[in-house]
């Protein structure tokens, strides 16, 4: 383990943590393509070690640090050995981490080094203050469900993945419409020709689904939204369904090989006659927010909504 000087408390100006029983082993994950991430990781590591906590990096982040003497393990194992994982990067970095950590119910805290930052809600200039508050027990817990994606061809499973934001059916690199049938809870909904379909969680409703014209859903909702992508009809609109619904999509006639992609990752290739199954994953992401978190304030900041109300209006 990397050592730090005994005078670090004076440097940070933060009181020593009195109750460290909840969070003793802290995992650190960083976005690999941002040099600024290293600065924040170094700052976090110094503070956490000063507090007598154990710092463990996943393998990719350890390589980014380019230092010897770090405690390292694989990302899936990180969820098993850590009491808290701090992700430094953008929402995409947290999406990566969520898929590996959700099954372990490991709390995840996000530091924003990306763009919007709906999930990574701590700014770099307040990272030590906010992390210290969390370690002192001043935080709220937010449970976010994931989607399980399975593709079957001729009745046989050919691909499976998890998504925190969304599962997207699309034409891939080609600019062509695809044709598919949609079923919800075994009931036929429609056959559609369009550029595809976005199936999003409340977490993903502020991501790709929003740009496709879908509604913003509060993170506490137990619901899934289905947003058509440029449908070849004027009557097709987004549909919000119960979060426990099983969604099935059958690819009908196509000259293409459309793809279905979880959270923007490399897609699973589809053929005519293939089925896509989407349903809620049994494990949820345990997302931690520091004091002062407000979903609507995040919407105002990230989406450019109106300013705060004038005092005395209520």
Count of other CB atoms within 10 angstroms of residue 151:
22
Look up the CATH number of the domain holding residue 88: 3.40.50.10330
* Candidates 58, 91, 142, 195; catalytic one: 91
Shared domain for 13 and 81, answered yes or no, is: yes
Tell me what pLDDT residue 308 has: 66
Long-range contacts of 183-191 (CB under 8 A, 24+ apart): 183/247, 183/248, 183/249, 183/250, 184/239, 184/241, 184/245, 184/246, 184/247, 184/248, 185/245, 185/246, 186/246, 186/248, 189/239, 190/236, 191/252
Tell me what pLDDT residue 311 has: 66
Report yes or no: 200 and 166 within 8 Å, Cβ to Cβ.
Answer: yes
Number of domains, the chain: 2
Shared domain for 107 and 154, answered yes or no, is: no
Question: In Å, how far are 148, 225, 229, 247, 309 from 277, measured between CA atoms?
Answer: 8, 15, 19, 6, 44
Closest CA to 51 of 9, 99, 113: 9
Q: Is 91 a catalytic residue?
A: yes
Tell me what pLDDT residue 19 has: 44
Q: What is the dihedral of CA 260, 262, 265, 266, to 10 degrees?
A: -30
Shared domain for 154 and 276, answered yes or no, is: yes
Look up the CATH number of the domain holding residue 229: 2.60.200.30
Shared domain for 75 and 155, answered yes or no, is: no
Report yes or no: 122 and 106 within 8 Å, Cβ to Cβ.
Answer: no
Q: How far is CA 55 from the centre of its chain?
A: 22
Shared domain for 170 and 238, answered yes or no, is: yes
Return all residues near 159 (Cβ < 8 A) that are at least 6 apart: 149, 150, 151, 268
87 within some domain:
yes
Alpha-helix residue ranges (DSSP H) falling in the chain: 8-12, 35-50, 59-65, 75-81, 91-101, 127-135, 208-211, 295-303
Shared domain for 162 and 272, answered yes or no, is: yes
Shared domain for 88 and 13, answered yes or no, is: yes
Count of other CB atoms within 10 angstroms of residue 6:
8
**Domain ranges, residue 254:** 147-282
Tell me what pLDDT residue 98 has: 92
What does the block give as tokens for 286? 């345990």
Tell me what pLDDT residue 254 has: 66
263 within some domain:
yes
Tell me what pLDDT residue 3 has: 31
Shared domain for 243 and 259, answered yes or no, is: yes
| Packing angle of the helix pair 127-135, 35-50 (nearest 10 deg) | 40
Q: What is the C-alpha R_g of the chain?
A: 22
276 within some domain:
yes
34 within some domain:
yes
Tell me what pLDDT residue 86 has: 97
109 within some domain:
yes
- How does DSSP classify residue 156? E
Question: In Å, how far are 141, 229, 295 from 18, measured between CA atoms?
Answer: 21, 52, 30
Shared domain for 231 and 129, answered yes or no, is: no
129 within some domain:
yes
Closest CA to 180 of 160, 200, 195: 195
Tell me what pLDDT residue 115 has: 74
- 10-residue mean pLDDT profile of the chain (314 residues): values are 35 43 90 85 96 95 91 92 95 91 93 84 93 95 97 96 96 85 97 95 96 96 97 91 98 84 92 96 95 90 77 55
310 within some domain:
no
Terminal CA-to-CA distance of the chain, rounded, Å?
Answer: 53
Helix (H, G, I), strand (E, B), or coil: what is residue 234? coil
314 within some domain:
no
């Amino acid at each position: 383990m990397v050592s730090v000087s005994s005078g670090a408390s004076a440097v940070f100006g933060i009181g020593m943590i009195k109750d460290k029983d909840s969070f003793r082993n802290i995992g650190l994950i960083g976005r690999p393509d941002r040099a600024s991430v290293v600065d924040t990781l170094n700052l976090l590591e110094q503070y956490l070690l000063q507090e007598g906590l154990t710092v463990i990096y996943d393998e990719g982040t350890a390589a980014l640090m380019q230092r010897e003497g770090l405690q390292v393990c694989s990302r899936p194992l990180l969820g098993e050995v850590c009491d808290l994982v701090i992700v430094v990067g953008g929402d995409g970095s947290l999406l990566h981490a969520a898929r590996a950590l959700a099954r372990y119910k490991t709390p995840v805290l996000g530091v924003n080094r990306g763009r919007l930052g709906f999930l990574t809600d701590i700014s770099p200039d307040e990272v030590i203050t906010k992390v210290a508050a969390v370690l002192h027990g001043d935080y709220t817990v937010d449970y976010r469900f994931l989607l399980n994606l399975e593709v079957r061809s001729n009745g046989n499973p050919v691909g499976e993945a998890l998504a925190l934001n969304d599962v997207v059916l699309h034409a891939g690199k080609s600019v062509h419409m695809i044709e598919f049938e949609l079923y919800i809870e075994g009931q036929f909904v429609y056959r559609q020709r369009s550029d595809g379909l976005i199936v999003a969680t409340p977490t993903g409703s502020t991501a790709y689904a929003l740009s496709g014209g879908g509604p913003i859903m509060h993170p506490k909702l137990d619901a899934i939204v289905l947003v058509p992508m440029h449908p070849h009809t004027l009557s097709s609109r987004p549909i919000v369904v119960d979060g426990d619904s099983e969604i099935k999509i059958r690819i009908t006639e196509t000259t293409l090989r459309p793809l279905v992609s979880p959270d923007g990752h490399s897609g699973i290739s589809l053929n005519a006659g293939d089925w896509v199954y989407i349903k809620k994953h049994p494990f949820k992401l345990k997302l931690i927010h520091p004091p002062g978190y407000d979903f609507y304030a995040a919407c105002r900041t990230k989406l450019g909504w109106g300013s705060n109300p004038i005092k005395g209006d209520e």
